[in-house]
Amino acid sequence: MVCLPLLAAAQKNVVDEVIWVVGDEPILLSDVEEARISAELSGQPVTNPYCTIPEQLAVRKLFLHQAAIDSVTVSEGDIIRGVDARINEYISVYGSREAVEQAAQKSIRQLRETFKRMYREENMVEEVKSNLTSKISATPAEVREFFKNTPTDSLPFIPTQVEVQIITSQPKVSRQEVERVEARLRDFAQSVNSGESDFSTLAKLYSEDGSARMGGELGYTGRNMWVPEFANVAFSLNDPKKVSKIVRTEFGFHIIQLIDKRGDKVNVRHILLKPQIEEAEFERGIARLDSIADDIRAERFTFDAAAYALSDDKDTRNNHGLMANVIQETRTISSRFQMKDLPQDVAKVVDTLQVGQVSRAFRMTNQKGQTVCAIVRLKSRIDGHHANMTEDFQVLRDQVIAKRREEKINNWIKEKVNSTYVRISPDWRNCDFKYEGWVKTN
């Protein structure tokens, strides 16, 4: 990895200049340096950055211009969550906030502002791409034709996949613990309402949510982006000087303060406290699930029936415990998981099971960040193989659609390159660009 302090120092010694113009939008040398350092921070340095990055930025300008035409917007809440995840990733890689700041030669606050802009633009670009390709599809006959005409060794290789059923037991929170958490939140609310304390300061010090570092601020967010209990209270607030009543959600207990309303979106701060669960409750949950697993093995009832009747996991209960894999790239849902896509705690257990076998009870962290008790059953395992029509129709269909989407987007870019005013400084033209037509001959 290139030494980031040296990269940043080199950046400081360069006088900024306009190196490309796309339409009426300039691309600055500092833009290229910023993108280069961001890639270095991510551990994914760009090959030949002074050719590759300007072209990438130019393509982004084309999409952002289209986003403005299409009035594309991005949820501020999504932006903040994305930036938080990126900053946390860098802190994990570099070991501390100070190390990240030293490597980037920027404060975390400055990095956050940079990443907010970058993340917003990335999401707007993806939305434009989605709009351009939303009507692309593939019929079964077209998928069969693709499979027929593609050599076996050129077909997608499907790593080993599994289907997993799960039953969970949510440990109960004691009444005393609920009262303790509620009393603490009431103290916070009273302190803010009286003017004694600042809400954002308390959030930074005590909130157990990722937004704590932003003073609990969630950004402008639509109602459907939050769980109903939280959204109902957040959207009912009218006085920024007052703190909401205590709100209980599946994530814990919250108090909320209004910052601003803008159309159908609201910006609020919140403090989240998660009640602590006694060890005895986990032990009871483990014992209960081990008893259920023993009954399933003894064929007193099936795993399917037990999941429907006894599981606390509302996301899988009505599907007989079958876990669902949400595939972001294709926006589809599948019952099949590669091992790397399973929750880590589940994957460790599944890796030890034979098909049809039910595990012993164990603890796991669910998608809401809660520690729960669980048992799992390995419903099926499909060993790694090249895709075939019998087992992998959806994968093949996705491959056909992905190829068509790529062609559609590339054709759109080529058309825009040829029809958009582009000026490149002479020193930046000697590149083997991915798309032809950037350097105008007239």
Segment holding 327, helix H or strand E: strand 325-327
Q: 248 has which bridge partners?
A: 253
Whole-number pLDDT of residue 442: 59
Whole-number pLDDT of residue 391: 86
* DSSP per position, 43-108: T-PPSSHHHHHHHHHHHHHHHHHHHHHTT----HHHHHHHHHHHHHHHHHHHSSHHHHHHHHTS-H
Q: Is the dihedral of CA 96, 102, 105, 107 positive or negative?
A: positive
Contacts of 257 (CB under 8 A, 6+ apart): 192, 199, 216, 237, 240, 242, 243, 244, 268, 269, 270
Whole-number pLDDT of residue 264: 84
The whole-model pTM stands at 0.60
Q: CA-CA distances (angstroms) from residue 324 to 164, 332, 333? A: 9, 10, 6
Q: φ, ψ for residue 196 (rounded to 5)?
A: -75, -35
Whole-number pLDDT of residue 154: 93
Whole-number pLDDT of residue 15: 65
pLDDT in tens, the chain (442 residues): 333 333 343 444 556 899 999 999 999 999 999 889 878 877 788 899 999 999 999 999 999 999 999 998 887 777 887 887 788 778 777 777 788 888 888 888 888 888 888 889 989 999 999 999 999 999 999 999 999 999 999 999 999 999 999 999 999 999 999 999 999 999 999 999 999 999 999 999 999 988 888 889 888 888 888 999 999 999 999 999 899 999 999 899 999 999 998 888 898 999 999 999 999 999 999 999 999 999 999 999 999 999 999 999 988 999 999 999 987 666 678 899 999 999 999 999 999 999 999 999 999 988 877 899 999 999 999 999 999 999 899 889 999 999 999 999 999 999 999 999 999 999 999 999 999 999 987 5
Q: Read off the tokens for 346.
A: 């589940």
Q: Read off the tokens for 108.
A: 């975390």
Q: 364 has which bridge partners?
A: 372
In the chain, the amino acid numbered 172 is K
Q: φ, ψ for residue 191 (rounded to 5)?
A: -65, -40
